[in-house]
Amino acid sequence: MSKRGLAKRLYTMYGIALIPLLMFGIYKNGIQLYDKGYVNVWGMIKPVILISMAICGSVAGTLLKNYRQKKIIDLESMNKCKKGIIEALLLSFVLPIKSSPLILFVVTFLFNLFKENTKINKVAIMYIVMQLLNVLLGLNTFSNPYEVNTTLNYDGIDLFLGFGTGGICSTPVVFIILGLIILCFNSLYKKDMVISAIITFLILGIVPRMITSHYGEIFPLIFGYNILYVFVFIFPNLYSSSYTTKGQILSGIILAILTYFFVMITPYNAAMLSVILVSLIRGICDRLFVIKLRSR
């Protein structure tokens, strides 16, 4: 089979895989809150506004960049926006609902204006920048108004269905798994690294708690903190992740271990910080196996 256009198809599949998450996020952090009287109409549509601003920032940045280079906005530059839109979706889905739409617009605009393909995961960097700004402005809490005002005691099923605390659209584990299945149909999707990361994290999350009988901590850890979302959608970035199969498996294992330890320090940012660190060492992961090839 010809591989031409596979990259474009991967972005399309990302778009399809993200639709259920988007729907659920709009319901959980918009419609549901409005129904229960926690937010006004503005609050109800805030998830849509945040996502739209991220997309607008990304498109504007990409088009301006192309215009600066070619002095023309053509179909090709519109095509280039596709990747930026997916990155904007991925970023906005994992941010706290309290984030500022204006700041999100500025961040996505600037990153797309100055950086196209980075060796370090671009979505993860944008996320960390956003979170730093959110911390400065006091907007970094992931709980929505309902979660802030209610004492919640979710069980494993609730967390699996996505009713736990997390990013705007990054909580429903069931839809994340569905997205993983969809993406696995594209041969460019680096499923090896995702699967190795998930398996390692499950082992690390479950085994010690089984031994110490802390069963109640298992589901909040493995289904919470946006971890699975980051593993499935953000970690296997084409440009900033390993390309050898063994390198991918190794990266996945390292990512899971780093995330496991970072969760103890900064739970919601653990996976993103780990993604950045792993993308920094991806070259070493690949090189280990390239060098082995020499001795064949």
Partner 1 sequence: MGEAVTIKRENNIKLESFIKNYLNPKYVFLPIDEGYKLRVIDNSYVYKNDIVMFTDKGKSVHSSVSGRVLGIKDMLYSNGVKKSSLVIENDLKENVRVRKSAKKYIDNYDKESFLQMLDDTSFKYRNKYVVQKFLENKRILLINGIELEPYFANKYFELLENADIILETIDLLSNIFHFEKTVLAIKNNSSDIINNFMNELGTYPNIDLKLMGDAYPNGMDDYLKKILELDDPLILSIEEVLGIYHILKKQVPVSEKLVTITGNAVNPKCVIKVKLGSLLSEVFINNFDFTEKSVVVYLNGNMTGRVVDTLKFVIDSTVDGIVVMKKSVKQVEDCISCGLCFKCCPMGLNPKYVFDHLGNVKGEYKEGCLQCGLCNYVCPSNIDLKSYMNGSEKN
Which of residues 12, 117, 149, 150 is near partner 1 by CB under 8 A?
117
Q: Is 75 in the site for partner 1 (CB under 8 A)?
A: no
In this structure, are residues 85 and 63 in contact, taking their beta carbons and an 8 Å threshold? no
**Whose Cβ is closer to partner 1: residue 251's or residue 269's?**
251
Q: Compute the least distance from the CB of residue 141 to partner 1, in Å.
A: 36
**Residue 244 interacting with partner 1 (CB under 8 A):** yes
* 121 contributes a contact to partner 1 by CB under 8 A: no
**Residue 296 within binding range of partner 1, rule CB under 8 A:** yes
Residue 165 binds partner 1 (CB under 8 A): no
Residue 203 or 284 having the CB closest to partner 1: 284
**Residues 76 and 26: beta-carbon distance below 8 Å:** no
DSSP assignment of 42-104:
HHHTHHHHHHHHHHHHHHHHHHHHHHHHHSS--HHHHHHHHHHHHHHHHHHHHS-TTS-HHHH
Task: Tell me the helix, strand and coil percentages in the chain, rounded to 5.
Answer: 75, 0, 25
- What is the 8-class DSSP label of residue 231? I
CB 109 within 8 Å of CB 58: yes
Q: What is the DSSP letter of 241?
A: S
Contact with partner 1 (CB under 8 A): which of 12, 40, 245, 266?
Answer: 245
Using the contact rule CB under 8 A, the part of the chain among 88-96, 159-167, 169-177, 239-247 near partner 1 is: 239-247
Choose, by CB under 8 A, the member of 240, 251, 269, 274 that binds partner 1.
240
| Residues binding partner 1 (CB under 8 A) | 1-7, 116-117, 187-188, 190, 238-245, 248, 286, 290, 293-294, 296
